[in-house]
Chain A
């Protein structure tokens, strides 16, 4: 009889990890998909629409989430982290730490009765802290698994020993404060790393006034603001006074192509800014947008056409020039000070809202994971690969795809994910 191939571990439940898991599962291999958040979906779930087709992001992602959840060969480990890896290619022992959800996944029906009663209000991470959530919460509306989670840092019972009101009102008896964090051991033949990115925090560029001026936000915050399931129900209002934002400046390369911060190019920002400007116009045809850029990098399929369409049909203009600083007037309108390279003139522009296209960076704690995995990172802390062996990390049997390898757009992440799945399959079937 043929030896049964070992399972594959996929770390990260964003679009890259999901695609890698689905490919392997569809080949008939067993997959463990580990995600540290309460639900899979990753960054793609936070986006409103996607360039260059303006497909609704969650709408095209949701079927994949459901496929992963229902796949007979895929085991989901949410709220879980990889703590230790020993062994070698073909035979890794992996220690997982599964954090207690304090909600029984099998019993919770996601009705929301508990949420309505929870007295705690804390900033919601998924919505980029633009709204408040309760201490018991769904990670996001379409999240998979579709169950509630209790946030141990903020739950009154878990922090101060009082309350338990959610337990009283849960008709499914799904609340379980007795749950403990648990360790699990997995034996796998190969590992795929797909941990994605964190956005750069532009507080590091004080002259842009992020966090000092309420109407200066970053792209991911904008994605939530304009999204129908976001904090404003998709109404593009600015944070200071809820006034409709009708004049918007998009500032590119914030933290990228910047020797003080990230010298590399984040690859996707020219296109997502274009998309974000288009969406604003779709919501309100009075919107006028300007994108301040250094080089316009629109090299993918259909990208140049997309840019041209933005200029032609969406009241969008591209201004080539660096933004020196952002100030604000008495009504909290941001003022963008910039040098237009064509004329070498310094100019200023008063707008309703500024959106900073912040760099895509490796996850803040990526070094820890790299240490656990025993793989090298590159000079920018992305997982190190060879240009001619682009999906292999420095340790045999461990592969990488998506934005933790280098900033990449969704199609490229998906292609890489399938590629990493292939490399893993080659390894475990050897």
Chain B
């Protein structure tokens, strides 16, 4: 065996690590470890200078293992791996040691002990690095076809854009027509265009487009596979349809909270904004005094979030009421007026000018709807008012679509604590799922207005078009492998695997487990459960992990 030559790069991360640990000391310590022939500290290992240093060190010192002790593999492992690759080192001979998120940031007040911990972490990393083996990524073809789930404005926009790029699209809608939430709205803010016109225009465009197949009254029944190679079953009434799909876009929208048991909601004199939309559309509104209450069922203990669209919605409907009946008095009771950006502040100003009355209430003193009047403590006046009403309109928040949880399970993607779909990274990957090949847009992710949903729909189309354009994807080689000589064909692994990535097949040697390489996520569940110890997790072998544990035991007195 060739001599193992490890290089260790310890990052200051500005003062994120350097301010709390003795980083030069760590580099010096690393040099004392077995097999380490090079060690250095850098201000920012991820900067161009830092990366160049890694590249040069690999060449000059004939390194065949590289260890970076820095921030977190979550954001930086791909970068360091690709630098290794550029320098001619197999990227799987790279080892990350997390001394920021899991050390300097959590032990800011204990410099010495934190430095000792970092030493132990580096020692563990080096111990594993020595045992790492080169691996090659697996390349798989991509079915040139997108599945868009949800035929609201987001799904329609996304489908059209992908089709315009030349990709085939299957657009699945649960209801019997396209349009989604827009079908329940009358006018759109801030332009006061009819929602139905937008839906009609988009529907027509979709019908004309030969690349899009629309399946209404349809639901996704089953999804198997992985990026580029999904087998999707769609149920359309009695019929089942099967599709080979490359990428999936979730555009299932949101629901709206029905305020049962709140503020005397009865659907007649106390209604929701959605119900008001329908009355306005049909010209059936007959009320001279309307009181709107914002944040009904949101920004409370159960649902802490702000649903964002309700303030402009209330403004819009209040203005429409005044337009239809200039004598009508409209009060909007709010906590904070959320009219962000360049168009909505102006819109708020317009609503004020048209004579709508705004009353601020606080979380401590909620309005009370009584028989014929609403009692509210006005924060500005500092006194309680009693407002007689003909109609009370409650602004309730968007809530996760009732089918979200079920769909999340089928796609094996996460939702947040309110049931909205959870993105890969809050700041920089807002429309990707952590699972490659699945993307999202619109209210499935979080309450958004129509304009934002359209932007996100184009965004999701862009993200989804990347694997479609390239035509193939590379998947991680850190997966399970079966030693057929040891495998007894008991099928425990098949039952355990959450990704359906391992199955029992008849072979010449009898029943044996087979891993579907591109589906395997390398989670290790099969390996841990195998009674024969016939399954090895590549890149996380027992030897590699044990070496870390033993090193830790040695490092900690």
Contact = CB atoms under 8 A, between A and B. Distances in A.
B459 A411 contact: no
Contact of A66 (B79, B341, B459, B466): B79
B458 A60 contact: no
A42 B99 CA distance: 28
A23 B463 contact: yes
A295 B457 contact: no
A419 B462 contact: yes
Of B166, B190, B426, B463, chain A has the most CB atoms within 10 Å of the CB of B426
Contacts of B52: 109
Interface residues of A, number: 84
A303 B308 CA distance: 11
A391 B458 contact: yes
Interface in B338-379: 338-346, 349, 360, 362, 379
Contacts of A341: 360, 379-380
Contact of B46 (A62, A110, A295, A419): A62
Of A19, A342, A391, A411, chain B has the most CB atoms within 10 Å of the CB of A411
B389 interface: no
Contacts of B198: 388
Interface residues of B, number: 80
Given A50-B427, A412-B452, A420-B458, A63 B76 contact: yes
Contacts of B452: 390, 412
B455 interface: yes
B3 interface: no
A218 B71 CA distance: 29
B193 A52 contact: no
B48 A422 contact: no
A316 to B, nearest CB: 17
Contacts of A229: 14-15
A352 interface: no
Interface in A381-430: 382, 387-391, 406-408, 410-412, 414-423, 425-426, 429-430
Contacts of A123: none
B456 A415 contact: yes
Contacts of A239: none
Interface stretch (B33-41, B273-281, B298-306, B499-507): B298-306
A146 B49 contact: yes
A228 interface: yes
B411 interface: no
Contacts of B306: 297-299, 303-304
A299 B340 contact: yes
A71 B354 CA distance: 54
B428 interface: yes
Given A56-B16, A265-B345, A419-B462, A142 B191 contact: no
A347 interface: no
Contact of A344 (B51, B382, B454, B456): B382
A59 B75 contact: yes
Given A416-B455, A429-B166, A297 B427 contact: no
A273 to B, nearest CB: 14
B382 A304 contact: no
Contacts of A50: 427
B13 interface: yes
Interface in B421-440: 425-431
Nearest to B431: A415
Of A15, A146, A426, chain B has the most CB atoms within 10 Å of the CB of A426
A15 B13 CA distance: 20
Nearest to B82: A70
B305 A407 contact: no
A172 B509 CA distance: 65
A27 B339 contact: no
Nearest to B15: A228
A421 B52 CA distance: 30
Interface string A33-68: 000000000000000001011011011111110110
Contact of A414 (B427, B447, B470): B427
Contacts of A406: 341-343
A26 B474 CA distance: 13
B345 A23 contact: no
B466 A411 contact: no
A61 B428 CA distance: 8
Given A60-B427, A295-B338, A429 B71 contact: no
Interface in A8-27: 15, 19, 23, 26-27
B426 A53 contact: yes
A295 B337 contact: yes
B209 interface: no
Nearest to A39: B48
B32 interface: no
B134 interface: no
A186 interface: no
B336 interface: yes
A257 interface: yes
Given A229-B15, A265-B339, 9 more contacts: A27-B462, A27-B470, A56-B71, A59-B46, A60-B428, A63-B75, A63-B76, A146-B49, A387-B451
Nearest 4 CB-CB pairings of A with B: A419-B458, A146-B48, A418-B459, A228-B15
14 contacts: A26-B470, A56-B16, A58-B14, A61-B428, A63-B46, A63-B75, A66-B46, A109-B52, A227-B14, A264-B346, A267-B341, A415-B430, A419-B455, A423-B458
